[in-house]
Structure 1
Amino acid sequence: MNIIIRKQGTLAIYEQIVNQLKNAIVSDELHAGEALPSIRSLAKDLQVSVITTKRAYEELEKEGLIRSVAGKGFYVCEYNTDYLREKQLMMIEERFGEIIEDCKEAGLTVKDVVEMVETLYKE
């Protein structure tokens, strides 16, 4: 599992961690019962605060995607991938809506936006 943090991104660092772990679960890169790195280990690997990784894990635990086992760490839970995928799509649609509003305000056409998306998607 490879988590990439974009320091200049629009999402908070903990949200980037949460989203990438969710994607790893949906894509079956992380399996039910699999151990996650410790909070300290992940923080060190990503060069972020322990508080940031703790917050990401707490968010995932609230959503029922991971569970904490006292003295042992965090593990991926059994999950409904269809439900998780639907939640991801809803979040993406919401973010796209905000971006589309920004594009309209900037005077971009649909063609301009599609070209931009195609270019960025290929990167």
Structure 2
Amino acid sequence: MHIIISNSSSEPIYEQIVRQLKEMIIQGKLKEDEPLPSIRNLARELKISVITTKRAYQELENEGYIITVPGKGSFVARQNREMLREKYLRIVEEKITEAIEAGRVIDLGLPELQEILRVLYEEG
């Protein structure tokens, strides 16, 4: 598992772990029922506190991305891919709506907004 932690990011470390693991699960890089590294092993690998790793795993479990079986470890939970897609589609729609509203404040037209979106999408 390849998780990159940025100490210069304003995003807390546990949130960086949560975000990256969610992405791996949604993209299918981590499969259903696949075991995750133990909290201690991941903490050691990332050179971070066990408490930080535990918090990330707890957040993922609370959101239904992983399950923890006492004595056996943490595993990728069975996901309803369509529900996950819908969840992220709503997030995209909210962010685009915010961008449209900000653009209207400065009289940004649809062609300009589409060009910004196209450029940013191609860069990513």
Q: Does the alignment reach a TM-score above 0.5?
A: yes
Task: Tell me what 1:35 maps to.
Answer: 35
Supply the distance in 2 between the matched residues of 1:66 and 1:89 (Cα, whole angstroms). 21
Q: Give the letter aligned to residue 8 of structure 1.
A: S
1:32-111 correspondence runs (5 A): 32-91=32-91, 94=94
Provide the identity percentage.
50
Shift of 1:85: 2.7
TM-score normalised over the length of structure 2? 0.72
Moved more, 65-74 or 95-104: 95-104
Shift of 1:89: 3.9
Aligned-residue RMSD, C-alpha = 2.8
Supply the distance in 2 between the matched residues of 1:104 and 1:49 (Cα, whole angstroms). 45
Shift of 1:88: 3.0
The CA deviation string for residues 82-101 of structure 1, in whole angstroms up to 9 with x for no partner, is 22233234445556677888
Supply the distance in 2 between the matched residues of 1:55 and 1:86 (Cα, whole angstroms). 26
In the alignment of these two chains, the number of paired residues is 122
Cα separation, partners in 2 of 1:29 and 1:110, compared to 1, 3 Å:
same
Supply the distance in 1 between the matched residues of 2:91 and 2:98 (Cα, whole angstroms). 11
Task: Tell me what 1:8 maps to.
Answer: 9
| Residue ranges of structure 1 left out of the alignment (5+ in a row) | none
The structure with more radius of gyration: 2
Shift of 1:66: 0.7
TM-score normalised over the length of structure 1? 0.72
Shift of 1:31: 0.6
Supply the distance in 2 between the matched residues of 1:15 and 1:83 (Cα, whole angstroms). 22
| Residue ranges of structure 2 left out of the alignment (5+ in a row) | none
Moved more, 95-104 or 38-47: 95-104
Shift of 1:77: 1.1
Cα separation, partners in 2 of 1:116 and 1:60, compared to 1, 3 Å:
same
